[in-house]
């Protein structure tokens, strides 16, 4: 039975729903000898900042039994060099896979300047806006993704500069996705990626030293899969814009969970380090999954999880509260 894995969203057609996540495939060229990039649905580049960043001290990646932690520090050559040296490779070699460029910054203006530099270049389809960066314009450095007002300011700024699709990448420790999703949707977002890494720390029990050169880092891999799936399901209750699920996808079964929860696409991260060809196996598994269920399109399973959403309960009146206390 022939099945259709294509997904139409963000103004284009993805040939299948399996992408490589930001930070796991560089700018494509780095993994091109071991991954057939044009067989994927797409890829998200390493995050691009306005100025070059050397990144954090080594070691930058450490494994633990349930996943890995990393603290790369947004190492990248900067927006001008990416436009000059990296995007031409993608333009000349990627034909079918769709490319999103990840954009990072520590002030709203940095995001705006990166998009201004890259927007009219060739080699990519849209931007993924990494809102997990700390906001240095406010005391305390709260990440943009945890501050709806600041996140909307970033999105408004980049939206004014580009007609390309803008996908906002959100943080897993957001207590309520509703306010930030509404703010970003109103500011011009075209979709959402859920989720980025969770803060994590791995220590050597013998020395007491952290496994990472920078100390703490971002936790990814199987340990955060359930968090990511729940985040997608929660976000789907607040928006009709397309969702991209990421976090702990290593097998086809993992991807299916995200799709059932409401994601139209999935991104693979840590698994790409362990097994660079895992994305191809996930794609093949999804084909078999649809065939076993006599389904012919991947879109038929998106958002079909058998899980009832609870409607918010109205607050009890003071009289009701008094009565409950009196008779409790």
Determine contact, residues 6/14, Cβ cutoff 8 Å: yes
Q: Catalytic positions, please?
A: 133
Q: Examine residue 253 and state whether it is found in any structural domain, yes or no.
A: yes
Does residue 1 lie within any of the structural domains?
no
Residue 139 domain-assigned (yes or no): yes
Q: Establish if 279 belongs to a structural domain.
A: yes
Q: What is the pLDDT of residue 138?
A: 63
pLDDT (0 to 100) of residue 132? 86
Which one is predicted more confidently, 123 or 308? 123
Residue 181 lies in a domain: yes
- Label residue 312 by pLDDT band (50, 70, 90): very low
Give domain status of residue 283, yes or no: yes
pLDDT at residue 319, as a whole number: 46
**Residues, the chain, total?**
328
Overall domain count for the chain: 1
On whether the CB atoms of residues 91 and 136 are closer than 8 A, the answer is no
Sign of CA dihedral 155, 158, 160, 164: negative
| Measured distance CA(154)–CA(133) in Å, rounded | 11
pLDDT of 171-180, one tens digit each?
999 999 999 9
Give pLDDT, residue 321.
Answer: 39
> The CATH number of the domain where 238 resides is what?
3.20.20.70
The verdict on residue 170 lying in a domain is yes
Percentage of the chain surpassing pLDDT 70?
92
Q: Which helix (H) or strand (E) holds 27?
A: none
Residue 2 belongs to some domain of the structure: no
What is the pTM (predicted TM-score) of this model?
0.93
The dihedral through the CA atoms of 181, 137, 166, 285 has a sign that is: negative
Instruction: Give the pLDDT of residue 100.
Output: 98
> Does 139 have pLDDT greater than 60?
no
C-alpha–C-alpha distance, residues 230 and 198, integer Å: 14
pLDDT tens column, 15-59:
999 999 999 999 999 999 999 999 999 999 999 999 999 999 999
* pLDDT for position 325: 37
Average pLDDT, the chain: 92
The pLDDT of residue 140 is: 61
Q: Assess contact for 197 and 220: CB atoms under 8 A.
A: yes
pLDDT in tens, 285-297: 999 999 999 999 9
Q: How far apart are CA 205 and CA 127, in angstroms?
A: 41
Q: Which domain holds residue 271?
A: 7-327
């Amino acid at each position: 039975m022939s099945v259709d894995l294509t997904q139409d969203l963000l103004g284009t057609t993805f040939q299948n729903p399996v992408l490589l996540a930001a930070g796991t495939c560089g700018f494509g060229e780095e993994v091109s000898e071991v991954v057939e990039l044009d067989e994927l649905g797409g890829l998200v580049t390493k995050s691009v900042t306005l100025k070059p960043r050397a990144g954090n001290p080594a070691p930058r990646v450490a494994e633990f039994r349930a996943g890995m932690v990393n603290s790369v520090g947004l190492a990248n050559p900067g927006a001008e060099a990416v436009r000059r040296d990296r995007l031409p490779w993608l333009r000349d070699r990627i034909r079918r896979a769709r490319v999103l460029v990840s954009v990072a910054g520590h002030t709203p203006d940095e995001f705006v300047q990166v998009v201004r530099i890259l927007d009219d270049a060739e080699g990519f389809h849209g931007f993924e806006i990494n809102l997990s960066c700390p906001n240095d314009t406010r005391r305390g450095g709260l990440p943009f993704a945890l501050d709806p007002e600041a996140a909307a300011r970033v999105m408004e700024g980049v939206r004014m500069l580009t007609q390309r699709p803008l996908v906002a990448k959100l943080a897993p420790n957001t207590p309520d996705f509703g306010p930030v999703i509404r703010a970003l949707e109103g500011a011009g977002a075209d979709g959402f990626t859920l989720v980025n890494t969770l803060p994590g720390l791995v220590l050597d029990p013998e020395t007491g030293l952290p496994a990472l050169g920078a100390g703490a880092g971002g936790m990814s891999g199987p340990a955060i899969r359930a968090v990511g799936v729940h985040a997608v399901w929660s976000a789907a209750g607040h928006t009709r814009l397309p969702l991209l699920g990421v976090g702990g996808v290593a097998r086809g079964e993992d991807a299916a969970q995200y799709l059932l929860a409401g994601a139209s696409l999935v991104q693979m991260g840590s698994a790409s380090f362990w097994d660079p060809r895992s994305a191809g196996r996930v794609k093949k598994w999804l084909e078999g999954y649809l065939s076993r269920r006599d389904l012919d399109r991947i879109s038929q399973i998106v958002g079909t999880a058998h899980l009832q959403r609870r409607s918010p309960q109205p607050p009890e009146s003071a009289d009701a509260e008094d009565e409950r206390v009196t008779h409790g």
